[in-house]
């Protein structure tokens, strides 16, 4: 287990959440343990992925045909998470004979499946595979995510679900909910459609100015943000993505679209 993974689970277990957040946090703690059980059994990537001209042109480093999947491990994670979902949301129980391996490519390319519950389970079951890939790739010399500056993940191509403004100047970083990679991006451009007209972009700050909900009127997308300059205790973006589910619900309630994550779907 890496320090990153220890930190994620520990933050979930020790977070100061409101009573209405407890069920959501408890669910993600159980999911995270399943993901870590899978992670421990994954071997390191045998070959190196080298960034080339395609990466410079905006093509992510890990296309679906290079994604390493251990079918047995994926099946075990998928079944355990599906059982967990059915236990906590009986109305969301899915068939146990779904050919999930055949759906990996569709989910990876599209980011979502027609059945949102199946899509949620797929994202959670695949996360340890994508995280392991991300860790291995980020150790390759020449892979510099600080040079990416695009609205999709430089590793797996996922669209972001959360962002952070960092000191000293409030520079923005995006979070991929699939592999948990982070990379820099402009604060005045929509990461989903590229809109940069000020008249189409806006944000809603929280009462304490620690959080913001960025919205785009052109594509009706939204992304949550934490301003680490205003937060007394630094909590990682993946954990804050979970703890700010109320922002997802507020955005969806106002007609904006959840693009990168699955938090609003589970929290409803």
Q: What is the DSSP track for 139-162?
A: TSTT--GGGT-SSS-TTT-PPPSE
Mean pLDDT, the chain, rounded, equals: 89
Identify the pLDDT of residue 267.
56
Confirm if 160 and 153 have CB atoms less than 8 A apart.
Answer: yes
Identify the pLDDT of residue 4.
44
In the predicted model, is pLDDT for residue 261 greater than 70?
no
In the predicted model, is pLDDT for residue 3 greater than 50?
no
Q: What is the DSSP letter of 91?
A: G
Strands lying side by side in the sheet with 211-216: 182-185, 171-175, 162-166, 222-227, 211-216, 201-205
54-90 pLDDT per residue, tens: 888 889 999 888 888 999 999 999 999 999 999 988 8
Identify the pLDDT of residue 2.
45
Nearest-angstrom CA–CA distance, 10 and 200: 39
Identify the pLDDT of residue 256.
95
28-38 pLDDT per residue, tens: 999 999 999 99
Q: What is the DSSP letter of 145?
A: G
Residue 260: pLDDT band with limits 50, 70, 90 = low
> For the chain, which domains are there?
3-144 (no CATH), 147-267 (3.90.1670.10)
Grouping H, G, I as helix, E, B as strand and the rest as coil, residue 17 is coil
Q: What is the mean pLDDT of residues 152-180?
A: 95
């Amino acid at each position: 287990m890496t320090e990153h993974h220890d930190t994620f689970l520990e933050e979930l277990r020790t977070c100061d959440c409101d009573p209405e957040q407890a069920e959501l946090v408890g669910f993600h703690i159980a999911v995270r343990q399943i993901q870590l059980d899978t992670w421990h059994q994954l071997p390191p990537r045998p070959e190196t992925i080298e960034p080339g001209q395609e990466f410079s042109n905006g093509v992510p480093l890990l296309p679906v045909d290079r994604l390493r999947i251990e079918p047995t491990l994926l099946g075990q994670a998928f079944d355990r998470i599906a059982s967990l979902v059915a236990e906590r949301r009986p109305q969301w129980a899915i068939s146990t004979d779904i050919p999930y391996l055949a759906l990996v490519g569709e989910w990876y390319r599209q980011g979502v499946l027609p059945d949102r519950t199946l899509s949620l389970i797929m994202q959670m079951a695949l996360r340890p595979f994508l995280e392991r890939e991300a860790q291995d790739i980020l150790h390759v010399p020449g892979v510099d995510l600080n040079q990416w500056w695009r609205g999709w993940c430089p590793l797996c191509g996922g669209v972001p679900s959360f962002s952070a403004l960092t000191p000293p100047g409030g520079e923005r970083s995006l979070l991929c909910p699939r592999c948990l990679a982070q990379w820099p991006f402009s604060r005045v451009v929509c990461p989903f459609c590229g809109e940069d007209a000020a008249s189409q972009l806006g944000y809603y700050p929280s009462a304490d100015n620690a959080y913001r909900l960025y919205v785009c009127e052109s594509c009706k997308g939204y992304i949550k943000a934490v301003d680490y300059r205003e937060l007394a205790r630094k909590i990682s973006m993946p954990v804050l993505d979970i703890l700010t589910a109320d922002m997802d619900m507020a955005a969806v309630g106002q007609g904006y679209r959840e693009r990168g994550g699955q938090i609003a779907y589970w929290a409803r």
